[in-house]
Structure 1
Amino acid sequence: MQWTQGYAPLGGNLLLSAACALVPIIFFFWALAVKRMKGYIAGLLTLAVSLLIAVFVYGMPAEKAVLSASQGAVYGLLPIGWIIITSVFLYKITVKTGQFEIIRSSVLAITDDRRLQALLIAFSFGAFLEGAAGFGAPVAISAALLVGLGFQPLYAAGICLIANTAPVAFGAIGIPITAVEGPTGIPAMEISQMVGRQLPFLSVFIPLYLIILMSGFKKAFEVWPAILVSGVSFAAVQYASSNFLGPELPDVLSALVSMAALTVFLKFWKPKTAFRFAAERESAAAADVTPAVYGGAAVFKAWSPFLLLTAMISVWGIPGVKAALTGHYEGTSIWLSWLNAAGKALTFTPPVPFVNQQILQADGTPIEAVYKLEFFGSAGTAILIAAVISKFALGMPWKSWGGAFIETIKELALPIVTIVSVVGFAYVTNASGMSATLGLALAMTGAMFTFFSPVLGWLGVFITGSDTSANLLFGGLQKVTALSVGMDPVLSVAANSSGGVTGKMISPQSIAVACAAVGLAGKEAELFRFTIKHSLFLLLLVCLITFLQHHLFSWMIP
């Protein structure tokens, strides 16, 4: 039996309905920021609250609400949970085989300054992983590396979440931008150009912001040349590639140039004093912290798991390969045709019972709902293959390899429950119409929509955990509202994506992933409290940029 969404279920009052739709989000904020609940408890209770509102306020049939949650839960397991498991597993392989000590030494050979290590790994290397894979891998891998180098786990997770702001809009080979072309009808190239005229301002600012956060203004000024090299090189390439090449490569190219530029720069310039955290300074007084020196072959071997990771997820991101891995390749390549056959055999998209084509939007459009099980096409499988090859490269026995994998699954059991529950909450929010209610209410801001437009993207990413999903969710609404208030729709749709990047660091999915990666399961509340103020501050900057581009700098709009 079909059911039609209603966006103002409380007597036709949109604002009152929006206030009700906000309840699960406010509850989640309260559970983490005020009550400091463990992540999986907060996630499960938020899911329960959203189900109750969907059924008793929005009138959604109970079976449709529950099965929509199950659709989200499956997506939380694959690809998101699978990527986290394999990412942490790969890191664990380097630790178990003793190779991470060599990795640590090689990074210290470039710089032993914690500020500069954060720029290299959290900002640049994390951006590369975001551009190639996305879906949590950047934060998981980068945070684990920083912890291995000696960063406190909570600090490492928070820094990586904030650093991941700059590349999110062009993540996973530009999917957030290319995906929104469909529902808006605006060419992806134009959206790419507009986003590329907004985010570079953040990309220059984020490295400085990170270092001030870590060490304060005075200590940040000590390394201003390195901050400038890191941020400006990233932003310049991000602008050029997004405006002249398209949305697919800005992250990958910007990250590679930024890493190379900073590494070369540090060959000729060093800060006068190396920054250490307080606890490290105390321990350093009683211990020799001079790192061992290893040869090039040993360093290459130690880094080989992450080099393999980079190679595999890069291959997985190539459009033709990606299509073949999920059984959707239609070209003539023999190799990709064979891969396509394997991908088709390992891809399952069964419809969600009572939900698929059974929920209608207000305009009567049916919503497709399938369980998306792409075992071969997931980036997590690419990382697992890298882990298998690493087993041979590092000479790790199968017994130890298997034991490390089982250990990883046990450690991540509760974080995966958190991820499953919050993604389930996101799907219930979307299927019931609550997300649309919030979007429509925000669109009522009228002339001030030119300022509040990015808030829609921020809200969408908080709910869904994905800039792609936020663009698909609110892209059409952004265009319609922009036209009604005299705003260029290219600017509003781009603002949705740019605003969304600032919501990534507080998304329940991102928080759960980051805590899982650094062994802080159950500490999600602390990490949320750490990132929320930074998320709101950076959102304000994007709102100001959008407002100014509409009123004063309209020549920047393509």
Structure 2
Amino acid sequence: MTFTQNFTAVGDSLWWTALVAIIPILYFFWALAIKKMKGHIAGLTTLLIALILAVVAFDMPVKTAVMSASQGAVYGLVPIAWIIVTSVFLYNITVRVGQFDIIRSSVLSITEDRRIQALLVAFSFGAFLEGAAGFGAPVAISAALLVGLGFNPLYAAGLCLIANTAPVAFGAIGIPIIAMEGPTGIPALEISKMVGRQLPILSIFIPFFLVFIMTGWKKTIEVLPAVLVSGITFAVTQFLSSNFLGPELPDVLSALVSLVALAVFMKFWQPKTIYRFKSEEQTATLQVEKYSAGKIFKAWSPFILLTALISLWGIPTIKTALTGHYEGSNAILSAVNSLGKFLTFTPEVPFVNNQIIDGMTELPIAAVYKLELLGAAGTAIFIACFITKFIFGMSFKVWGQTLFSTLNEIKFPIVTICAVVAYAYVTNAAGMMTTLALVLAKTGALFPFFSPVLGWLGVFITGSDTSANVMFAKLQQVTAGHVGMDPVLALAANSSGGVTGKMISPQSIAVAAAAVGLVGRESELLRFTLKYSIILLLCICIITFLQSNVLGWMVP
């Protein structure tokens, strides 16, 4: 029995159907921001509401709805939750053996100023991890590092979520941009060029925004030179690489240039006053213990190793071998391919695979459980954890105890992640998301302004700019053609708007909360980031509207 998506399922009206489709979203905001439910309770009840609406309002068969949820839950485990487990595990290892004290001192040796530390770790290092891995690893690792440096957990998580705005569109070696080429036929390079003419405007602003959130106007102006070095070097590199190299390297290159430029700049310039948190001594200078270069390198080696491995995992040729799809003649890659094929499982989802008819294309939708155990970024991080055991001379007993305590620490966030991803899959399968998108597409001449909202909404629901781009790319392209908007601009707007929704996505909130020990306090984190998400979304909406109507010369 097949199920055909119906975007006018309620009263034969698109508007009434959209009103019903938005109920789970409104409920989730209410549950976290107002009711202050624990994340896993809010996630599970939102999933339940989505299932009921899918069956009752959208006439989706119960079996199809439930199995769609199971598909999302499995994706929530691998790759997303797997990344969180391994990221937090790696951080906990460095703490357990006392190496994080050396990491902390090495950062403090560059500057004791908390504002600059936020730029180095949350903005630059986080962007590098986003470019190399994506899927939650950047926020988890950079937030944990900030907490280890002495940041308030809520601020650490919130700042890293906001900082993650600048790099998300080019994350995981450009996958969000590349993913739009298939359904639209527009070359990824052209979309990359357009995104590279939108996000750099935000990238210049984000470092200022981060420090302003932390300290206010006056304290931000005190470090304006450092803020400008961080933002401008990142933005210029992001523009040049996205326009002349493609979507794969903008994050990695921009982050490295920004990180090195700021670190070198701090050798020649320091703020007049050192900013510390109120809980710290305001007058006395912190005693920073000096370590040899060898000890510092050893302490940082797990994260250097992590960066190298997840970068390796992101190389397209190696990725195909890790997932069992390599067809070349290289002996090493062929051996990896055999192992990757053995550890890759894609069974069909019962009652879902080719049983749902897309209401837009009238074609059946394939659905499989995608379990790429070797190819998952979390596996690269786990290998880094295993090698780190030998670098630090840990016993298997202590290493295992650390892993067990990590799993126990984040068991509820894992439930939250699985629940919200399951909810996203149910709403997509039932046609709820497309219904909301069709309403926005009816804004006509104002569509260029509202185009980024589609991406924002998609990332909020799915937690992934890649998923939002795949979901709405064709709709953006077709609608843009009808209203006289350049399709390349509409596709870029979807991705750029999507990055502003990352910081309030239930998945991202759960990941950040787990990384800094805020399990059960996800509502506080959502309230912290929500207003900034809306502010940055409005910026992208205005930029897109101007590029469509006034600044047409910016469109490639």
Q: TM-score per shorter chain, which class?
A: over 0.9
**Separation in structure 1 between the aligned mates of residue 286 and residue 114 of structure 2, nearest angstrom:** 14
Instruction: Specify the SS of the correspondent of 2:324.
Output: coil
Q: Deviations along 1:210-234, whole A, 9 cap, x unmatched?
A: 0010011100000000000000000
What percentage of residue pairs aligned between the two structures are identical?
68
Match of 1:149 in 2: 149
Match of 1:499 in 2: 497
Instruction: Specify the SS of the correspondent of 1:66.
Output: helix
Match of 1:397 in 2: 395
Matches within 5 A, 1:3-42: 3-42=3-42
Match of 1:409 in 2: 407
Match of 2:367 in 1: 369
Identify the match of residue 296 of structure 1 among 293, 298, 301: 293
Q: Deviations along 1:39-64, whole A, 9 cap, x unmatched?
A: 00000000000001000000000010
Q: What amino acid is the match of 1:314? A: S
Q: What amino acid is the match of 1:447? A: A
1:349 aligns with 2:346: yes
Instruction: Specify the SS of the correspondent of 2:279.
Output: helix
Match of 2:117 in 1: 117
**Separation in structure 2 between the aligned mates of residue 461 and residue 135 of structure 1, nearest angstrom:** 12
Q: What amino acid is the match of 1:281? A: E
**Separation in structure 1 between the aligned mates of residue 281 and residue 329 of structure 2, nearest angstrom:** 60
**Separation in structure 1 between the aligned mates of residue 521 and residue 420 of structure 2, nearest angstrom:** 16
**Separation in structure 2 between the aligned mates of residue 15 and residue 202 of structure 1, nearest angstrom:** 33
**Separation in structure 2 between the aligned mates of residue 500 and residue 253 of structure 1, nearest angstrom:** 22
Q: TM-score, normalised by structure 2?
A: 0.99
Q: Deviations along 1:94-122, whole A, 9 cap, x unmatched?
A: 00000000000000000110000000000
Q: What amino acid is the match of 1:160? A: C
Match of 2:166 in 1: 166
Match of 2:426 in 1: 428
Match of 1:89 in 2: 89
Match of 1:521 in 2: 519
**Separation in structure 1 between the aligned mates of residue 326 and residue 270 of structure 2, nearest angstrom:** 50
1:521 deviates by 0.5
Q: What amino acid is the match of 1:354? A: F
1:323 aligns with 2:323: no
1:260 aligns with 2:260: yes
1:289 deviates by 2.9
**Separation in structure 1 between the aligned mates of residue 297 and residue 167 of structure 2, nearest angstrom:** 27
1:10 deviates by 1.1
Q: What amino acid is the match of 1:26? A: L
Q: What amino acid is the match of 2:289? A: A
Instruction: Specify the SS of the correspondent of 1:364.
Output: coil
1:280 deviates by 1.5
**Separation in structure 1 between the aligned mates of residue 181 and residue 19 of structure 2, nearest angstrom:** 30
1:536 aligns with 2:534: yes
Q: Deviations along 1:323-359, whole A, 9 cap, x unmatched?
A: 1000011222111111101000000000000100111
Q: What amino acid is the match of 1:293? A: K
Matches within 5 A, 1:227-242: 227-242=227-242
**Separation in structure 2 between the aligned mates of residue 291 and residue 323 of structure 1, nearest angstrom:** 46
1:281 deviates by 3.3
Match of 1:512 in 2: 510
**Separation in structure 1 between the aligned mates of residue 150 and residue 72 of structure 2, nearest angstrom:** 36
Match of 1:448 in 2: 446
Match of 1:208 in 2: 208
Q: What amino acid is the match of 1:172? A: A
**Separation in structure 1 between the aligned mates of residue 446 and residue 77 of structure 2, nearest angstrom:** 39
Q: What amino acid is the match of 1:361? A: D
Instruction: Specify the SS of the correspondent of 1:278.
Output: coil
Identify the match of residue 546 of structure 1 among 521, 544, 547: 544
Match of 1:272 in 2: 272
**Separation in structure 1 between the aligned mates of residue 370 and residue 436 of structure 2, nearest angstrom:** 27
Instruction: Specify the SS of the correspondent of 2:275.
Output: coil
Q: Deviations along 1:419-465, whole A, 9 cap, x unmatched?
A: 00000000000000001100001101111001000000000000100
1:463 aligns with 2:477: no
**Separation in structure 2 between the aligned mates of residue 343 and residue 254 of structure 1, nearest angstrom:** 31
**Separation in structure 2 between the aligned mates of residue 557 and residue 463 of structure 1, nearest angstrom:** 29
Match of 1:485 in 2: 483
**Separation in structure 2 between the aligned mates of residue 8 and residue 152 of structure 1, nearest angstrom:** 47
Q: What amino acid is the match of 2:330? A: S
Match of 2:416 in 1: 418
Instruction: Specify the SS of the correspondent of 2:281.
Output: helix
1:3 deviates by 1.1
Match of 1:437 in 2: 435
Q: Deviations along 1:172-227, whole A, 9 cap, x unmatched?
A: 00000000111111110100000000000000000000001001110000000000
Q: Deviations along 1:462-513, whole A, 9 cap, x unmatched?
A: 0100000000011100011100000000000100000000000000000000
Match of 2:222 in 1: 222
**Separation in structure 1 between the aligned mates of residue 105 and residue 260 of structure 2, nearest angstrom:** 18
1:11 deviates by 2.1
**Separation in structure 2 between the aligned mates of residue 323 and residue 274 of structure 1, nearest angstrom:** 48
Match of 1:243 in 2: 243
**Separation in structure 2 between the aligned mates of residue 518 and residue 182 of structure 1, nearest angstrom:** 38
Q: TM-score, normalised by structure 1?
A: 0.99
**Separation in structure 1 between the aligned mates of residue 103 and residue 537 of structure 2, nearest angstrom:** 35
Q: What amino acid is the match of 1:310? A: T
**Separation in structure 2 between the aligned mates of residue 281 and residue 295 of structure 1, nearest angstrom:** 27
Gapped regions of structure 1 (runs ≥ 5)? none
Match of 2:126 in 1: 126
Stretches (4+) displaced over 3 A:
none
**Separation in structure 1 between the aligned mates of residue 226 and residue 209 of structure 2, nearest angstrom:** 13
**Separation in structure 2 between the aligned mates of residue 245 and residue 90 of structure 1, nearest angstrom:** 33
**Separation in structure 1 between the aligned mates of residue 452 and residue 371 of structure 2, nearest angstrom:** 32
Instruction: Specify the SS of the correspondent of 2:493.
Output: helix
Gapped regions of structure 2 (runs ≥ 5)? none
**Separation in structure 2 between the aligned mates of residue 172 and residue 164 of structure 1, nearest angstrom:** 13
Match of 1:338 in 2: 335
1:152 deviates by 0.5
